[in-house]
Chain A
């Protein structure tokens, strides 16, 4: 998760330059040079003693973000300037290696020749400060290699900078500025939502973030997890805000961490809009574009209510998709009606976004949450289904109290029928609407009635249902037959999954044909080539095409299964499986269990020792998480999981004729804590050894003080996974 987070920062400020062309316009660069090295030059700072053992120390770091209209260049131009300026002390070889070279890629940018109006320009400067204080500016003309592939053709650029004479002990001071003049397509330009973490790979002595805007621009910004507040710079400089921060330790990477909920960061966004219109696709933002003069740091209930009502009352220009016209049988129960509405919408979504869904995962499309909420609201109100909208946040990213920009609002549709409550967050083909997306489970939110409407019809606080560990369950069953002579184990494997976590496997294992069969069996026929009214010659070709694609999918699935089995059981040799069967797809609410089975053989588990045989029975549990001593003894972060969960293993091992089994007692363990547990029971049942284990993670969050509790049951499972059974020849 932290990597993803770092990626975001990098995307914005540092390596954003990678994706754009790199041009040095001397005059403007001189202005930036003056700005960063003279007028806004970093002040000297003292390195705290505690930072001196680090590979590098960031002495000063500044991020600047500025948004303004550029009417002088045309009626539809917005300029966004992002700059990154850093002064870093390099204290070891690894540090020098990291900062000796800068690689900057370009893409097929065509607008670069018109520099004044060019869409993207990047400026940079580097200087080295030696221990004796002598500063040397790097002459980029001498060392920059800008390589534009083939002149006059669609091209990309590659820019390489190698900093000369950089040695351990030096300070490198550099800036990279990206000036982007976007031609926006709609009346409102929505800038990217940006995140800047105040902790990073190296300790930081002093850092700042400055954001600014000019007329018609709206700025939102909020400091999270104890990051200092961003404040107006001065009365003279309206629209300029700055945050200053000191002495941040380097961030430490650990298992089970969520830096979004723990580490200090600042999130911000710039939006340009002459007048907030209610048009697609930017109309959903209009309720949050209230003042260009104030920095937005929160969303008011009034704004949220107006946005909620926009969705629930649907203005035609807000979305571009038609509302499905669903006819329901009057005598149907509420549950039957809900089934039909949701499956019909799912069917429409699939038809709209074509079969690429199954064969080109990167091209998967669906309605976004705003669009889904508008469509469902209209249909549910029309059919008088008890329902409401819920506005919340992604629990893994932001607390509800920290909500301050439209970008981070999650919209769910809550439907109640026959005593059941469904929280719909998407209409993806494979998601089961009877299950709550773990990102929202247990969250706080605000609710607005769709049908029936209450008298006041205002937002009220609500808590989304919290899913229990046993509702996110994986059950793995193995029946193991030992080939004593061949030293091969034959294993029948069955896996059942319910709740969160199953979707990733469903995507890789359920093909178009599986889905169509399941959908048609449980609901209605989907529009497909087979049932279309295309010309027979075209239909024939398309049928062959789909058959080929399905074959390709089947091969990919086979590789996926092999890879998963090898990882799960740490199998290093080649592996083949047979008899793969999806017993239940888990996509239809009637039975939410995703279940499949297969069988495979491996030499991995059994070996001969003297005249006896040893079975790595513990390995049949699958790979168990473990921690090194360093990780156990130096926990610095609190503990986060995406959802509570339970893992069950049922392992049945047939005892070969003429042998008796020893070592069963090691498989009877029980470690229960507040935060989770691991229990294993083993017994001889007829001519089999049966080992049953349960591992449960109860929480989504635990303070780091409870880490030892995790260690106790996790270690217990890990140790068990290292245990053997002995099969001794009966004399």
Chain B
């Protein structure tokens, strides 16, 4: 063997041999079983053992939490890799990170500490600690121990029992000292067969244990709403403590409000700056109504939403004058600015907290996790008006879907009121299309007009505002084309951009190729090439409900002119499907020398629950059959 080959061979052997570990037949068997069950995974959790201790920090006079997690991973494949991650923020710190192999030897693996990049949030103090696990053989096990200290019980409000990996066995143990009393509010534990047991340890502490076996990984389905809708978890709510704490524990909704109110009362707006700006805004206004609109619109137009979550600033608003001068703020900052500006103009506007439809909770639970948003509530002319400063291009009379029907905690001096935000009808978000076509050669030529209202309009305006001005024309054209290069656009016209008083209208002349096919003396015409919802079959393996962005109505009225020398021999059958969540109506009808096509798709609800998927898929199949059919004309 030549020198070269020898060197290569040694390198080759070394590349494998350094990782050889003791792996038993049972380990390999378990790995094979898990791989069969979870083919997409190369690593699984063999066990999760979490111990949560509640301690009293005498120096800070706070109840703190020490969470020790022992996670045993098993490789389901050779050469598997996995980044084991735990998150932390300003309210806690990682005290210990260790990695052990099966011989219980500690491994020298340097954890990576880095910031977490959350989509849509400009700045968050959420960080992660990651340990890269490298397995050489199938069945190999590595154990990771994280110890995390949460400085204040207030910020330790939830435990999830599902992970990003499938898990063979999970035990989470809470050790509650005698001086503390906690309530555990379970979500979906029965669905996942997670059992709770209670005992007392030798120190007299109550030990609550949640145990689950064979837990699948958390689902990765789009449009599922927030994790609180589908992940098995418990919320941890304090009931009482015999220790005297610096701040009272949040044990009730009153307590939750009191804490928010305390933070809110620490704000000291510079009314000089605020008043000057408000006076300038309302100067031309002739009525209170105009003043409210002017201030609301000014905040929409001039303050940029910038999500900011750092420490206490995740809960406390920035000063109104800061938001006004910086021209950006998060929802708290924008809501507070609107409150202060409306107050300055003499209106009764109040800071309000709520959880959007991303969360499944309401204010019956006294916890920081039940809300995630702030808006302004205006009491005006005996009515309650909910003003969301972050919902750009949505006028006062429209309420964004994400806050409709949600409980809202409205500040009322040093008290609060729980109100419910009204639910609006789907036709508030109407997208209408009117078109008329006639045949030119084998092309369909005609005028098309779109009209957008409500959130259909605000979504479009928000999108346009994010584009360069010179890209707007392409964007408008693509509304007609829907990325189909068979469609040519001319005479494009549109209404005034960002105007909220009327629906936004868009019209064009279109020439559509390849939708009419000639077979000898017959013409086959595709009557709908947009085909809303076609191919929207929900896959069998989806485990979570489907959450839609908003209730809405899409209406389409299309007229096809029949050429004089042709007669109609086939018109597709109508479709009419009316379900609790949606309505689909499609109808083609010959009237004189025209065929009228009318279509309506209404989403009456934003959630299609898992048990309704079969019905949904049947609907999509029927709808696809409807679209697949064609109009047939024959030469007279």
Contacts and interface: CB of A to CB of B under 8 A. Distances in A.
Contact of B4 (A153, A167, A325): A325
Contact of A541 (B2, B20, B569): B20
Interface string A70-98: 00000000000000000000011111110
B511 to A, nearest CB: 9
B624 to A, nearest CB: 9
Contact of B326 (A150, A165, A626): A165
Contacts of B302: 167
B79 interface: yes
A121 B466 CA distance: 33
A322 B7 CA distance: 10
Contacts of A157: 115
Interface stretch (B121-129, B271-279, B396-404): B121-129
A527 B327 contact: no
A358 B465 CA distance: 47
B193 to A, nearest CB: 30
B78 A544 contact: yes
Interface residues of A, number: 80
B524 A322 contact: no
A54 B468 contact: yes
Nearest to B486: A722
A405 B17 CA distance: 43
A484 to B, nearest CB: 14
Interface of chain B: mostly helix, strand, loop or mixed:
mixed
B481 interface: yes
Interface string B92-123: 01100000000000000011111100000011
B13 A726 contact: no
Given A154-B111, A325-B2, A627-B485, A165 B123 contact: no
Contact of B113 (A54, A150, A545, A728): A150
A667 to B, nearest CB: 12
A724 B306 contact: no
A94 B467 contact: yes
A628 interface: yes
B570 interface: yes
B630 interface: yes
Interface in B1-55: 2-5, 7-9, 11-13, 15-17, 20, 39, 42
B517 A324 contact: no
B632 A610 contact: yes
Contacts of B4: 322, 324-325, 348, 351-352
Given A158-B115, A325-B2, A574 B328 contact: no
B325 A150 contact: no
B524 A162 contact: no
B600 interface: no
Interface string B504-518: 000000000110010
B286 to A, nearest CB: 27
A483 interface: no
B113 A153 contact: yes
A608 B125 CA distance: 57
Given A162-B306, A723-B517, A726-B519, A614 B630 contact: yes
Contacts of A97: 304, 465-466
A55 B326 contact: no
Interface in A638-671: 662-663, 666
A348 B115 contact: no
A392 to B, nearest CB: 29
A463 interface: no
B602 interface: no
Contact of A351 (B8, B125, B327, B486): B8
Given A324-B2, A325-B4, A572-B535, A108 B112 contact: yes
A131 interface: no
A542 B16 contact: yes
A368 to B, nearest CB: 18
B15 A145 contact: no
* Residue of B115, B136, B570, B625 with highest tally of chain A CB at under 10 A: B115
Contacts of A630: 474, 477
B327 A538 contact: no
B11 A354 contact: yes
B465 A94 contact: yes
A687 interface: no
A55 B468 contact: yes
Nearest to A548: B78
A313 to B, nearest CB: 21
Contact of A91 (B115, B127, B469, B517): B469
B468 A94 contact: yes
A160 interface: yes
Contacts of B569: 610
Interface residues of B, number: 73
A516 to B, nearest CB: 14
A326 B628 CA distance: 65
A332 interface: no
Interface string B167-204: 00000000000000000000000000000000000000
B566 to A, nearest CB: 15
Contacts of A544: 78, 137-138
Given A162-B122, A356-B15, A610-B632, A145 B20 contact: no
Contacts of B489: 629
Interface in A84-131: 91-97, 100-101, 105, 108
B3 A628 contact: no
A702 to B, nearest CB: 21
Given A55-B470, A166-B327, A726-B524, A608 B629 contact: yes
B20 A549 contact: no
B137 A663 contact: no
Interface in A535-549: 538, 541-542, 544-546, 548-549
Contacts of B289: none
A544 B7 CA distance: 24
A302 B125 CA distance: 59
A727 to B, nearest CB: 10
A40 to B, nearest CB: 29
Given A153-B113, A156-B112, A160-B122, A722 B524 contact: no
A65 to B, nearest CB: 30
Contacts of A538: 17, 20
Contacts of B383: none
Interface in A501-543: 527, 532, 534, 538, 541-542
Interface in A614-641: 614, 626-630
B5 A527 contact: yes
A149 B113 CA distance: 6
Contacts of A663: 517, 519
A614 to B, nearest CB: 7
Interface in B130-154: 136-138
Interface string B314-336: 00000000000111100000000
9 contacts: A149-B115, A150-B127, A162-B306, A348-B4, A351-B12, A354-B12, A549-B78, A608-B625, A726-B519
Interface of A: 53-56, 91-97, 100-101, 105, 108, 143, 145, 147, 149-150, 153-158, 160, 162, 164-167, 322, 324-325, 348, 351-352, 354-356, 359-360, 527, 532, 534, 538, 541-542, 544-546, 548-549, 551-552, 555, 572-574, 607-610, 614, 626-630, 662-663, 666, 718-719, 722-724, 726, 728
Interface of B: 2-5, 7-9, 11-13, 15-17, 20, 39, 42, 77-79, 88, 93-94, 110-115, 122-123, 125, 127, 129, 136-138, 302, 304, 306, 310, 325-328, 465-470, 474, 477, 481, 485-486, 488-489, 513-514, 517, 519-520, 524, 535, 537, 539, 569-570, 625, 628-630, 632
Given A94-B465, A627-B485, 19 more contacts: A150-B94, A150-B113, A153-B113, A165-B325, A322-B3, A324-B2, A325-B3, A351-B9, A359-B79, A541-B20, A544-B78, A544-B138, A545-B79, A548-B79, A549-B79, A573-B535, A607-B628, A628-B481, A719-B513
Q: Which 8 A-B pairs have the closest CB atoms?
A: A351-B8, A55-B468, A149-B113, A164-B326, A158-B115, A722-B514, A607-B628, A545-B78
